[in-house]
Amino acid sequence: MLSILLALLLAFAGVVLLAPVYIGLLQRLGFGKQIRIEGPQGHQSKAGTPTMGGMLLVVVVMFLAMAMRIEDVSTLPPMLALVGVGILGAIDDYVNARTGIGMRGRYKLVWQTGVALLAAFYLQRHFHLDALNIPGIGEMTVGPVIFVLVAAFIIVGSSNAVNLTDGLDGLAGGVLVFSFVAYLLIALVAAPGVDKASQPNLAIFCALIIGALMGFLWFNVHPAQLFMGDAGALSLGATLAVVATITGQLPLLAVIGLVFVAVTLSVILQVASFKLRGRRIFRIAPLHHHLELVGWAEEKITVRFWIVAALAGLLGFSLFLGSVNGFS
């Protein structure tokens, strides 16, 4: 527990101390966010706010992870996801800052899928995973190939879901904190199907991410001085799913990441409804922008989503404990 607390505090302090210098550097380089005109009009005032803040989190977390020497079979895959997808996100942020339009979706998807397949294949082979622990049902054997495909699909989906949620100041960062807290606690408890012992290094890695996110929120809460950008949203979403896979609780991500699921579903339903019926369900998607247009203040949406994320994390951890104790 002392190592976990130390990791959290060091990551928090590292981001808080480096962020002002990093923000100044981004401003000098012209890495300001360009806001799309089809979004809420109130967001146009945010144009020019430095983006690519997620890369600072990636650097701080990786530096401290290496300094604390926590790299092992349980932490190498999420490190790969954090760095591999973080580079993709940084490139997308750079292109957005220069042109106003990010990388083509197909190129990002190919990159994300490659990293996801590598991580899923490594985890399956090392931990001999061939089953999914379904909350409230129990273990369902699917076989190695299906497991790799399902895990890769969820890793890519989680990456994009967090990116969709990153639309308000402090929103994605705060929700991610609660999600990683839930998996930190799970990593400290025996994880059926993966390792009967706890995974302390994975818990420390989660603490590093939590501390870095808290430091980032110091500058990202409304009005934001720094945006996470794709460098943070895409990489942290993928990393969260990899962590969920290592703990043996991948399907539980649908509960712990309830906010991300709801935001993604709002986009899917909006697109499907418009294509099939020619009508929109929401004024605009994702969900948080719809709530803005119906009159909710940005800060209110963010805090209420944080509350939902905290409750979802508690529910997910409770379901996990139930499965450990044979109640599923």
CA distance 315 to 181: 12
Query: Which tokens hold the place of 91?
Result: 């490139």
Give the SS3 label for residue 195.
strand
For residue 222, is it within any domain?
Answer: yes
- Residue carrying the six token digits 């996110």: 213
Residues 154 and 148: beta-carbon distance below 8 Å: no
For residue 315, is it within any domain?
Answer: no
CA distance 153 to 118: 12
153-205 pLDDT, tens digit per residue, is: 999 999 999 999 998 999 999 999 999 999 999 999 865 455 556 789 999 99
For residue 155, is it within any domain?
Answer: yes
Strands 131-134 and 138-141: antiparallel
For residue 113, is it within any domain?
Answer: yes
Name the DSSP class of 32. B
| pLDDT score at 210 | 98
Amino acid at 210: I
Amino acid at 278: G
Burial grade of 12 (CB within 10 A; 0-12, 13-18, 19 or more): buried
Name the DSSP class of 101. S
253-263 pLDDT, tens digit per residue, is: 999 999 999 99
Q: Is the pTM of this model over 0.75?
A: yes
42-80 pLDDT, tens digit per residue, is: 666 677 789 899 999 999 999 999 999 999 988 999 999
Query: Which tokens hold the place of 250?
Result: 């991948």
Name the DSSP class of 271. H
For residue 298, is it within any domain?
Answer: no
For residue 299, how many C-alpha atoms fall within 13 Å in the half-sphere facing its CB?
Answer: 4
For residue 245, is it within any domain?
Answer: yes
- Residue carrying the six token digits 């509350």: 307
Query: Which tokens hold the place of 15?
Result: 């981001």
Give the SS3 label for residue 250.
coil
Burial grade of 93 (CB within 10 A; 0-12, 13-18, 19 or more): buried
For residue 126, is it within any domain?
Answer: yes
For residue 317, is it within any domain?
Answer: no
281-317 pLDDT, tens digit per residue, is: 999 999 999 999 999 999 999 999 999 999 999 999 9
Continuous segment of H or E residues that includes residue 171: helix 171-187
The set of residues, in sequence order, having a beta carbon less than 8 Å from that of 226 and lying 6+ positions away, is 19, 22, 23, 26, 49, 50, 51, 53, 216, 219, 220
Torsion sign, CA atoms 127, 260, 5, 13: positive
| pLDDT score at 103 | 77
Domain span including residue 60: 2-251
CA distance 156 to 114: 10
Continuous segment of H or E residues that includes residue 117: helix 105-127
Domain count, the chain: 1
User: What's the rounded mean pLDDT across residues 116-133?
Assistant: 90
User: What's the rounded mean pLDDT across residues 109-136?
Assistant: 90
CA distance 238 to 81: 6
Predicted confidence band at 328 (pLDDT cuts at 50, 70, 90)? very low
